[in-house]
Structure 1
Amino acid sequence: MASIACTPPVPAAGDGDTAGPRERARGALLGLAVGDALGAPAENLKPSEIRARWGRITDYVTEQPCGTDDTEYAIFSGLLLARHGSALTPAHAEAAWHEWIADRAEGPFRGAGFSERGTLENLRRGLAAPVSAQHRHAWSDGLAMRAAPFGVFAAGRPTEAARLVAIDGSVSHEGEGIYGGQAVAAGVAAAMTGAPLPVVIAAALAVIPEDSWTARSLRRAVAVAHRGERAVRRAVVIGGYPWTDLAPEAVALAFGAYAAADGDFRESVLTAVNMGRDADTTAAVAGALAGATRGAAAIPAHWSSAIGPSRGRCLPSMAGHHVLDVAELLAPAPGPPRPTVRPPLLGYPGTEVLS
């Protein structure tokens, strides 16, 4: 059984928090996009293949780095969450999938990962959540890649972050796929308060079943993290298995990279990237955790400046949205109330977002 009741206490947001909640929110979502862009060229490669092409990746290796479906789906979930907050229901999530993905023409990525393709096919056949999640890839890391916004929204409340991301995931994932998303959301929620690394890891483990594949892999990864990325990879990668988007593997690699780097942003994402496998997702998750831990200022400026609005290559409806706009919606600046801006994802006219 999941040990949600045993979620460790995390510091209240602001307690010793030199970065501040808004800075951490920007760090989490910008960190996700940066990690995604850094890791995209190394996706599905072995470390030996990465070394043969680039040596050790220490920077962007493409002239025009950009995020993949990981960033676009995170924006999608962030806008959905900004509208409904803690009142989010599976019906809300399913309606958004229809209006802004399933019932529209898709971009060249055509829905992206296997779990997303299976979900879209089921929704187009008229199946509703949670039956829409009953496909062959419900265990993928497709929920984990879009889970960080829930941790940003529920800063300091890992259990609430885990509850909400499971609602979002009910449309597309089951079992280990849900657990992977919950671990990421809870970890980011703890990191958003400035919690130390062991507390972040404990928060992630506390919201998923102790005997789950995800929990076992995560524990193995962080136990050997002090020995570096090769040890982390050996501890969790399923040798010979052709698919790299396994949630238990990808989430464990991301937390292992984060732990090996002791929460340092640059080293967290680069460790994840150079381990290969589903490198865009593992680096995106590691980047979200480290960005929430250290804040946006910890992200190298030339990495941050390369991240622009989404190009909508996977989800055309997300074109023009920036992860920092989502951060503003989920963790607005303190002060007098600002005019309400309705995210277009949620059925309101217009295309404006906060800038």
Structure 2
Amino acid sequence: MAPIARIPSAPVLESAVGLRERARGALLGLAVGDALGAPAENMKPSEIRATWGRITGYVADRPAGTDDTEYAIFSGLLLARHGHALTPAHAEAAWHELIADRAEGPFRGAGFSERGTLENLRRGLAAPISAQHRHAWSDGLAMRAAPCGVFAAGRPDEAARLVAIDGSVSHDGEGIYGGQAVAAGVAAAMAGAPVVTVVASALAVIPDDSWTARSLRRAVTAAHLGERAVRSAVVIGGYPWTDLAPEAVALALGAYATADGDFEQA
């Protein structure tokens, strides 16, 4: 990959049909990643290879997704309702209406950040205080950030602004930065940007000295050396869970860079 010095000029947006196809691909790709990752969570790469080998088909008779996809749909609904006028109050109200104030029923899936947020909302805490829990830096916002990039196609700054508003109810600090990096990268990719521009767009919307930015730079620098080098450059040893936003976002964009943007390879 070329050095990331600045963001190259953004490509001209394509027709509505082309954007619609990219939007569909982005959201289906998110669901595929969720379905592939769910049964392998907390497994070593060697264990994953031994269990499944290389997976080449992505459609199964039984649904395999988790709350990751569900919350991405939630963020998409927020944008469908409010668009660029989205506010923290809108996001907080939707959390109550669609999740916190309902009986859980069959719903069981949620990460630490979501559980902490729901507990705070049910105790009467409002945003941004509702995001003050032990996992405000988790990847729970990054996992649902793609719709903001789709909605703000070709406008990484606007995608980052919107996802920060969405995340104000549930995340803070590195958790917000992770969501912003993903949303901005998707916004650039929606406009047909090359890999170097997508990564540069992700880096441009977060602080240079943040954990997320440092992890992302390490991942992209190691990308030409392959998957294991990216993992070694990013993964935090000794932490038993898989919800660190700086780690998850860097691994995702590192895989994307290693594969030079090819979905199946990534």
The answer to whether the 8 A contact 2:66-2:109 is kept is: no
Tell me the amino acid that sits aligned with residue 45 of structure 1.
Answer: M
* Matches of 2:108 and 2:61, distance apart in 1: 24
Unpaired runs of 5+ in structure 1? 1-5, 269-355
Would you say how many aligned residue pairs link Structure 1 and Structure 2? Answer: 261
Is 1:144 aligned to residue 142 of structure 2? yes
Q: CA deviation at 1:55?
A: 3.1
TM-score (norm 2): 0.93
Aligned to 1:228: 226
Secondary structure at the counterpart of residue 37 of structure 1: helix
Aligned residues with identical type, % of pairs: 85
Aligned to 2:124: 126
Corresponding letter in the other structure for 2:196: P
In structure 1, how many angstroms separate the alpha carbons of the residues matched to 2:105 and 2:204? 37
**CA–CA separation in structure 2 for the residues paired with 1:8 and 1:133:** 35
Deviation string 1:42-90 (CA, Å, 9 cap, x unpaired) is: 1121112212322344445976242211110000110111110010000
Q: Which residue of 1 aligns with 2:10?
A: 10
Question: Residues 192-247 of structure 1, C-alpha deviation per residue, up to 9 Å, x if partnerless?
Answer: 01011000000000000001000000111111111111111101000121111100
| 2:241 partner SS | coil
Is the deviation greater in 110-119 or in 167-176? 110-119
Structure 1 letter corresponding to 2:154? G
Distance 1:62 1:242, change over 3 A: farther
In structure 2, what is the equivalent of residue 96 of structure 1? 94
For residue 34 of structure 1, what is the aligned residue in structure 2?
Answer: 32
List alignment gaps of at least 5 residues for structure 2: 1-5
2:85 corresponds in structure 1 to: 87
User: Whole-Å Cα distance in 1 between the matches of residues 109 and 99 of structure 2?
Assistant: 8
* TM-score, normalised with respect to structure 1: 0.70
**Residue 187, structure 1, aligned to residue 185, structure 2:** yes
Assess if the C-alpha contact under 8 Å between 1:8 and 1:206 holds in 2: no
Check the 8 A contact 1:41/1:61 in 2, yes or no.
Answer: no
The yes-or-no answer on 1:255 pairing with 2:253 is yes
Deviations 1:109-130 (A, max 9, x none): 5351000000000000000000
Which has the bigger relative contact order, CA under 8 A and spacing at least 6? 1
AA aligned opposite 2:160: A
Q: Which residue of 2 aligns with 1:278?
A: none
